[in-house]
Chain A
């Protein structure tokens, strides 16, 4: 197996609060290989974005990394000083944010925003940077790229703006792109285009992408592997087909069952009873036990195995017979 671009080992993030320390990310480990799209799914508050922010070192205090290691291309980055981290992350990590309305500076022409990234990190001239900016815009499918360098963000539609944001993430040629719900603020038809674009870039450039989303459709469409998170913990991690067709963690199973399908007809949509526990009230044992239909005594006392590749964080993983 090739060296992973990003490797997270046993990562925990904690936030000290008045009522004690809460742990929005708890002992999570996963890898992303070059040219791979890892989908990170979970309900809101499951710790998906928090883990992403920890990777890029943009955790807002008082949140902090409590333990674990983050390796980027063979370098450990979680202990780097602010300065070293700053130099590294813009070059090696690109980020696509959820809301294209706020992720571009409304008062700067997009050409300036694109070249700013390159001039900060690459040793190139302004005209060279502009050439590359045009190339990046063309690559993400902006027509008339050369003319649009002088446009302001408000002169673009939402979908176009998200393309610009992706171009922005690409232009320093990072080895990893973290896309935090890149399609949530967009129309369904535009969503498909953006997902297709991310996939294309990933294949052509060999960029690894961490795709954070709560949309199972996007995951099914784009991801190679999926990490399912629940209450800050990794519930399950595996290739997308396996997770979608034969989930072994009861939470993933419930999640899949609650995805609307045209073939299911008009029956009521399945839902998982209850809601995700608040971070300061995570139950003993397995975090999912109060909502789990299979929970046994053991689940209420012992957190169970840690979720890793190919093994669900569950005492009683669902075992299915392979149908196909």
Chain B
């Protein structure tokens, strides 16, 4: 044999990465799913309006100087009896524009949700990789801790962590710290599912030869986990992260509704719902309804997107 015969033609890459991506099965499936498109649009609208809240909102509800108590309890789209001001979604008892508070509240809800999920993700992926890769006692300790935590409702765990964290922070910082404590509490109550999924995926990947090859060429365990295993276990993690985001937003709203979450000075959607709930039976329905509908739309569309993502990334369900 003189030279190896040229059996295969080198494929020519004449398309840009974007063009290739647009032709993928994933994009095709996305275009064919009305649910996915609608929920993406809803999520995008909500996220963008939260991000650009200062530009969109007619008033800044956190600036006491701009508030006029005379505007309190103005019904949606009706001019106020004293000042003549009109508000799209009405005002609450302190004359804050409900539309503006929703935009700002959604900011906090989304921030807490995203940060909590990221925190849970980093923690869960790290612990999952470690327990899957090393096995033995490390795995036993981590995964049994996870199992024990799973036996408690996550909202209970979050309340427990929230309570402890609040207890150890000095009183004067409590309101400032509340958001971070919320993130910590929700994140810690949510890492378990990431850890479990990553661990089981790691066990599968670990037995493949490319991991043995990486060990053979002398890469350190940390490098193997990060460079070789992690990218290969990420797709289920993305699905869980999306669904967890919806759950984290709801968890934050629940905690805030129960009064242990975001303080009234920095109201999240949950806080707004709690505030509005007090006025429901006195006829001021808008203070409760609009934040609640926003929360519903946000959680539902994120959840639907997560569900669709799970189906789209799972070849067995096609």
Contact = CB atoms under 8 A, between A and B. Distances in A.
A99 interface: yes
B4 A141 contact: yes
A200 B2 CA distance: 10
A168 B218 contact: no
A98 B216 contact: no
B5 to A, nearest CB: 8
B215 interface: yes
B232 A90 contact: no
A90 B10 contact: no
B174 interface: no
Contact of B232 (A106, A121, A143): A106
Given A157-B8, A160-B8, A197-B4, A103 B210 contact: yes
A193 B216 contact: no
Interface in B195-245: 208-210, 212-220, 227-228, 231-232
B213 A103 contact: yes
A264 to B, nearest CB: 29
SS class, residues of chain B in contact with chain A = loop
Nearest to B229: A105
Interface residues of B, number: 24
Contacts of B231: 105, 107-108
A258 interface: no
B204 to A, nearest CB: 10
Contacts of A196: 1
B16 interface: no
A94 to B, nearest CB: 8
Contacts of A105: 210, 214, 228, 231-232
Contacts of A160: 8
A212 interface: no
B237 to A, nearest CB: 14
A103 B209 contact: yes
B208 A102 contact: yes
B282 interface: no
Nearest to B216: A95
A120 B8 contact: no
A116 B8 contact: no
Contact of B217 (A120, A151, A200): A120
B209 A107 contact: no
B213 A95 contact: yes
A157 to B, nearest CB: 6
A120 B218 contact: yes
Given A102-B208, A141-B4, A160-B8, A168 B213 contact: yes
A6 to B, nearest CB: 15
Interface string B1-41: 10110111011000000000000000000000000000000
A172 B10 CA distance: 25
Nearest to A178: B216
Contact of A143 (B6, B218, B219): B6
B232 A99 contact: no
A13 interface: no
A193 B8 CA distance: 14
B216 A89 contact: yes
A257 interface: no
A97 interface: yes
A216 B228 CA distance: 35
Contacts of B214: 105, 116
B8 A107 contact: no
Contact of B218 (A90, A144, A147): A90
A168 B209 CA distance: 13
Given A105-B228, A143-B10, A120 B219 contact: yes
A167 to B, nearest CB: 12
Contact of A86 (B3, B8, B218, B227): B218
A208 to B, nearest CB: 16
A193 B218 contact: no
Given A147-B10, A148-B10, A196-B1, A90 B209 contact: no
B218 A89 contact: yes
A126 interface: no
Contacts of A143: 6, 8, 10
Contacts of A144: 10
Contacts of A103: 208-210, 212-213
Contacts of B227: 108, 116
Interface in A117-154: 117, 120-121, 141, 143-144, 147-148, 151
Contact of A58 (B3, B7, B208, B216): B216
B212 A58 contact: yes
A155 interface: yes
Interface string A67-105: 000000000000000000011011101110111001111
A222 to B, nearest CB: 13
B8 A97 contact: no
Interface of A: 56, 58, 86-87, 89-91, 93-95, 97-99, 102-108, 116-117, 120-121, 141, 143-144, 147-148, 151, 155, 157, 159-160, 165, 168, 172, 193, 196-197, 200
Closest 10 CB pairs of A and B: A141-B4, A103-B209, A90-B217, A90-B218, A144-B10, A97-B209, A102-B208, A86-B218, A107-B231, A105-B210
6 contacts: A95-B216, A99-B209, A105-B228, A120-B217, A141-B3, A160-B8
